[in-house]
Structure 1
Amino acid sequence: MTPAQCRAGRALIEWTIEDLAEASGVAASVITDFETRRTQVDREAIEALVAAFEHGGVRLIPENGGGEGVRLKFSRSEVKRIATLEGEGGIIAEDDV
């Protein structure tokens, strides 16, 4: 994941840095430093950010000749519905089934 993908992923699902920090367990200051390229972030933090985005409905697209990017794994309404169900103790399943 690149800093640009991190910023774009947050924008897609309307997460603040604090939202991403809470979802990933990575400090907000570390996320800010990563997004602004102030410091290099360790692999574990990147993996936690990627996992949080995937859980939040963002799919990271690697460089594949067409350029890296991000896209929604689900529509916004599906993401909100999944979050509601999970928050209410609803059905829990793998997202990629």
Structure 2
Amino acid sequence: MARAALRWGVRDLARNADVTPTTISRVEAGKPAFTGTLQSIRAAFEAAGLEFIDENGGGVGVRFSRPRSDLT
């Protein structure tokens, strides 16, 4: 969902998180990953302007932390 919001492909996320595209594919397939890898991926999304939403009865998700027009 986060990649789609940013219109990023696997390689875009891998580059921004400083991991390999294979690592991104493994994580998205639900395979285990090191905590540091997951933190790098989250940091890349947050640096791009996304905010993670905790479970609040409506489910977890992501949203832009500021208007999308401010991100360019």
What TM-score, normalized to structure 1?
0.69
Which residue is 2:56 aligned to?
Answer: 64
Equivalent residue runs for 1:78-97 within 5 Å: 78-80=70-72
The residue that corresponds to 1:5 in the other structure is none
Task: Could you list the structure 1 runs, at least 4 aligned residues long, displaced by more than 6 angstroms after superposition.
Answer: none
What is the aligned counterpart of 2:2 among 9, 12, 30? Answer: 9
Q: Distance in 2 between matches of 1:26 and 1:64?
A: 31
Q: What is the count of residue pairs matched by the alignment?
A: 72
SS of 2:19's equivalent?
coil
Residue identity opposite 1:73 in structure 2: S
Unaligned 5+ segments in structure 2 are: none
Partners of 1:16 and 1:74 in 2: CA distance? 22
Partner residue in 2 for 1:18:
11
Code of the residue aligned with 1:46 in structure 2: it is L
Letter in 2 for 1:29: T
**Aligned AA for 1:12?**
A
What is the rounded CA distance, in whole Å, between the counterparts of 2:8 and 2:56 in structure 1? Answer: 26
Give, in whole Å, the separation in 2 of the partners of 1:50 and 1:9: 10
Whether the 8 Å contact between 1:13 and 1:76 is mirrored in structure 2 is no
Higher-Rg structure is 1
